Structure 1
Amino acid sequence: MARYTTLYLSALIAGLTAALFGYSVGFIGGIIVLPSFLSHFSLSTLPPSALASTQAQIITSWLVGALFGVPLGMPFCSRFGRKGCLFLAGGLYVCGAGMQLLDFGIGGFKVGRALNGLGVGVGTLGGPMYISEISPPSERGMLMSSYQTILQLSALAGFWGAFLSHSSFPSSSSLQWRLPTAIQLIPGILLLLGACSIPETPSFLAGKGREREAERSLVSLRGVRGEEWMVEGEMQEIRDAARVSSLVRDKNVPFSKELLKPGIRKRLVVGVGLMIAQNMVGLNALNYYAPVIFMSAGFTSVSSSLFLTGVFGVVKLLSAIAFMFVFVKIRGNRFWLPLGSSLCGVCMLFLAYFVHKIPPANQLGAVPHWLGEAKLTLGGVVSVLTVYIFAFSFSVSLGPISWNVCSEIFPLHINAKCCVMTTCTQWLFQIVIAYITPQLLTTIGWGTYLIYVLFCLLTTLFVFFSVPETRNVPLGREMDSLFDDKKDIDEEEEMEEESETTLLLKHGQRERRGSLGVYT
């Protein structure tokens, strides 16, 4: 494993895009309710409806920025490489953090959040794509799962950072909100510096005709300098895929025509379907509104609901680590996806039942003093445990695997464009969930969880019938064989033969020109 040092370091740096994502989600909910923040931006004097609207705009501006950041990153991924995409993500994120710290009023803070979102959106496109393209099949599952682990770790740091800042600084000190906000600069600057030092992906370099650079990159990532023969087979597969992609580009095949191919449609159905499922089974509803949900389960004090929300983050982090190092190596995607989705559905069903049955009164006893003034009910305890089981089930299935699959199944020549479609789907449905969840909880209450039960069931059926096993499958021809029909495969083989013939003809022409030059 020591020879994979460059590989692991490069994956870690690309994984910092997940830190941008996670910390932005984790800290903002605590920041926008801090007394120092409300006072600094003159929000404490607003009526409740206006304050709620401003807080919603701060959160929504970030989500919208992330949605538009994905297509913004696509031309950088295609023209300047995956490294260029990572550098852009870090730059936008750092600029956004700076805008939030400077005194431009609440409008400037919103603009900073939108820039943050743009950087995160670019990162969610480039980060997983980079990790997937540098990883050997045997390590790809673990390295791709590191993305989810870093996301959960940074989200947890963001939540507890805001929590501790509130406890450590007086409300009169601007450090109470500035310090957690300034911490955003750390992962952003590390990503900027790291993107300058890591190698570009061999697939991108080969696709641009820079085969010598691709070979050097692959040798560095595999740690076999001086033993280049060990990667000859892998390099040949990269060359073959790049030649097919080059021929497709030379023929100017429009993306709309590519979408008509059955194999590409199947891949997009899988990718888009998994990203929809990842949001619609209910995890992001818990992410954004966990304190409200814990209150509805009987833990009515703010301190108790916030504490339980922090534990919720710990459970997600430990589950992501367990998947990365243990579960991903035990069984494949087609085992964990339906199992996790089914367990999520069962958890939502239990949550609906107990939230429906919990009476406002009839408390069974007081909880420990560190949970504040909340009262303990049997249904409330079971509901909280159910939320934690849901978090575990999601974090070993849809959470990491959706990103893994979307970053590895598409052909090289349209990988960036297809990943834009799947990643935009992810952000679009995050916006949908953030918008509809509070309205559902207000109007139909416990029935909200039954809606998520239905989507969990649909996800299980979708995975069973549509998602093939991609674990340990090499990128290129073997991945194509999982999705493409015989006609598409025959066309690719013809393109490879055409590519080899073209190369031989060019080589012969160069030899003839060289001979002519000798005799004249």
Structure 2
Amino acid sequence: MANGSTRNLYLAATVACMTGALFGYSVGYIGGVLVLPSFLHHFHLDKLPPAELAAAQAGPVSAWLVGALFGVPLGMPICSRLGRKSCLTFSALLYVVGATLQLVDVNKSLALFNFGRLLNGLGVGAGTLVSPMYICEIAPLSERGMLLSGYQTAIQAAALAGFWAACAAHSNFSDSSSLQWKIPVAVQLLPGLLLLFGSLFVPEAPAFLADKGDLDAAVAALAWLRRLPRDDPSVKDEVEVLENIKAATATKEHSAGFLRQLRSRSLRKRLILGSGLMIAQNMVGLNALNYYAPVIFMSAGFTSVSTSLLLTGLFGLVKVLTAISFMFVFVKMRSNRFWLKFGSAVCGISIVILAFCVRDILAYDHIRDDRFDAQGVVSVLMVYVFAFAFGVSLGPISWNVCSEIFPSHLKAKCCAITTCVQWLFQIVIAGVTPHLLASLGWATYLVYAVFCAISFVWVTFFVPETKGVALGKDMDDLFELSLGSAVAEEHSITEVTSLLADGRCLARRDSVGLPI
């Protein structure tokens, strides 16, 4: 990247990735905390009948999911009007206030705890909207895929930390101590405060500043991110792009309403692509696998609770290591389409094998023999294979693609739609999976295998390659933008938001990022 340094760029991207840490930790710790004896006793849940206990334990999970869904449209106007940086701060504030309310001991009220989880979810929802967008807009083309993949890495690492925080609290504090459940809850404040204070020091995305007409501030932010003087030649190259973006604010198409711009075939194709990837991310079966993993591990012969927890923790570790490997290695090896097809195929194969192993395991009704043990071990391996395949495909790439395919001035609105789709289907799958498992049993996994096959076919025939495609005109060309006027051509040029790349990034590239 010219003669500058990536230090500031990586710092800003790390701050943005903290919203992924909020996401992951919120998911990782809650399951363990909800079954801690101290939590159950503190909120008077330990004497409830099973049905009422299950309903009470579902409250914090449901509140968080609903909050995350509505946090996306809540953050959209902030992200669009006040800026990406302001939305990062907004996300952090909601999360920190929510975490604090969960620790406030007012009449041992579970309702207050649930309200805190709702605020957590609102903060996470706003964060899932803005962070991939911000990272995409500050990253040069050569670093874009790697830095965007850091978001998924943060999610998985924090989820693993949350899981082990609950386990450690159970092991190190007595069941009568409120610290047993309060410490895992309090740990939420760490990523929340890091994001809050970090967002105050990182710059606004230069693309947003230029889009709003503040070219001088955009140049200053760009120079800070690249650690280069404002008059450096590579900065000047990007300044030219900034000036074009500023000019775009005056075009008729740029000022047109969102509903009017939806008439564009190009924009509709991008929304279908982004929403489809988010749907596929949820429908291939990861949540179903997460739901049943402990039973699978115990069926493999690892019947003690501690060993089952260890294997579940290793499942999380596999996801973390896969996310890191994709971020630094796999993302640079092959195209997005290759990994999406690879992931869909391997996830489908592994979940079919898992389904038939679980069928035979359940048929034996926990009778121990060599065949049963072998099938149990294969089941465990398929869980890990699935985690790997998902972690190099739909897991990170869905977020990456959605953050880069939309025009700069429409990105907040379009990403709000695709992110809402993601959360909506996550809620649907979380609600439907237990019922499918109760009614279909092992065949539930075959249902998700069908969706893996659908995902493979869809990617093969309908998903274009976006890796290595510069933002702006190159991305417009990829989606066949044709507005049929000279103004449209000008608009297409001014939408080149690879302002965050050096001059070489403006070259047209092929599907795997190599100059033509």
Distance 1:84 1:140 in 2: 22
Task: Output the amino acid matched with 2:193.
Answer: I
Question: What letter matches 1:15 in structure 2?
Answer: C
Q: What is the aligned-residue RMSD (CA, Å)?
A: 2.0
Q: 1:346 aligns with which of 349, 371, 376?
A: 349
Contact map agreement 2:129 2:415 (CA 8 A) in 1: yes
Secondary structure, in 3 states, of the residue corresponding to 1:486? coil
Code of the aligned partner of 1:204:
F
How do residues 327-476 of structure 1 correspond to structure 2 at under 5 angstroms? 327-358=330-361, 359-364=364-369, 377-476=373-472
| Cα distance in 1, alignment partners of residues 212 and 231 from structure 2 | 25
Over 3 Å counting, the alpha-carbon distance change for 1:209 and 1:166 in structure 2 is same
TM-score w.r.t. structure 1 length? 0.90
Structure-1 residue corresponding to 2:197: 193
Q: Which residue of 218, 226, 229 maps to 1:225?
A: 229
Structure 1: gaps (5+ residues): 366-374, 500-520
- What does 1:157-196 align with in structure 2 at a 5 Å threshold? 157-196=161-200
Structure 1 Cα separation of the partners of residues 178 and 434 of structure 2: 30
Q: Which residue of 1 aligns with 2:508?
A: none
Deviation, structure 1 residue 485: 3.3
Is this contact kept in 1: 2:274–2:402, CA < 8 A?
yes
Q: Structure 2 CA distance, aligned partners of 1:289 and 1:281?
A: 15
What is the rounded CA distance, in whole Å, between the counterparts of 2:127 and 2:471 in structure 1?
Answer: 22
- Matched with 1:309 is 312
Decide which of 479, 482, 488 is 1:486's aligned counterpart. Answer: 482
Residues 448 and 491 (structure 1 numbering): CA distance in 2 closer, same or farther, change over 3 Å?
farther
CA contact (8 A) 2:207 2:242 kept: yes
Structure-2 change in CA distance of 1:483 and 1:170 (3 Å): same
Correspondence 1:202 to 2:206 = yes
Relative distance call for 1:410 and 1:247 in structure 2 (3 A) is same
SS of residue paired to 1:8:
helix
- 1:35-434, aligned counterparts within 5 Å? 35-104=37-106, 105-225=109-229, 228-248=232-252, 251=255, 253-295=256-298, 299-358=302-361, 359-364=364-369, 377-434=373-430
Q: Which has more radius of gyration?
A: 1
How many pairs are equivalent? Answer: 489
Q: How big is the shift at 1:479?
A: 1.3
CA distance in 2, matches of 1:109, 1:498: 48
How far off its partner does 1:233 sit?
Answer: 2.7
Give ranges in structure 2 of 5+ residues lacking alignment.
496-516
Tell me the CA shift for residue 293 of structure 1.
4.5
Maintained 8 Å contact 1:286/1:293: no
1:165 positional shift = 0.7
Contact 1:241 1:476 in 2 (8 A): no
Q: What TM-score do you get using the length of structure 2 for normalisation?
A: 0.91
Which is further off, 213-222 or 391-400?
Answer: 213-222
Give the residue type in structure 2 aligned to 1:306. Answer: L
1:510 maps to none
Q: Residues of 1 paired with 2:254 and 2:171: CA distance?
A: 61
Contact 1:237 1:476 survives alignment (8 Å): no
Q: 1:497 to 1:143 in 2, by over 3 A?
A: closer
CA 1:216–1:461 in structure 2 vs 1: closer, same or farther (change >3 Å)?
same
* Residue type at the aligned position of 1:134: I
Q: Distance in 2 between matches of 1:425 and 1:28?
A: 23
Alpha-carbon contact 1:299-1:376 (below 8 Å) kept: no
Provide the rounded CA distance (Å) in 2 between the counterparts of 1:23 and 1:102: 19
Q: Percent identity?
A: 57
Residue 36 of structure 2 corresponds to which residue in structure 1? Answer: 34
In 2: Cα distance, 1:449 partner to 1:488 partner: 48
Deviation at 1:463, TM superposition (A): 1.1
Using a 3 Å threshold, how does the CA distance of structure 1 residues 141 and 496 change in structure 2: closer, same or farther?
closer
Q: 1:248 to 1:222 in 2, by over 3 A?
A: farther
Q: 1:257 to 1:289 in 2, by over 3 A?
A: farther
How much does 1:243 deviate? 2.9
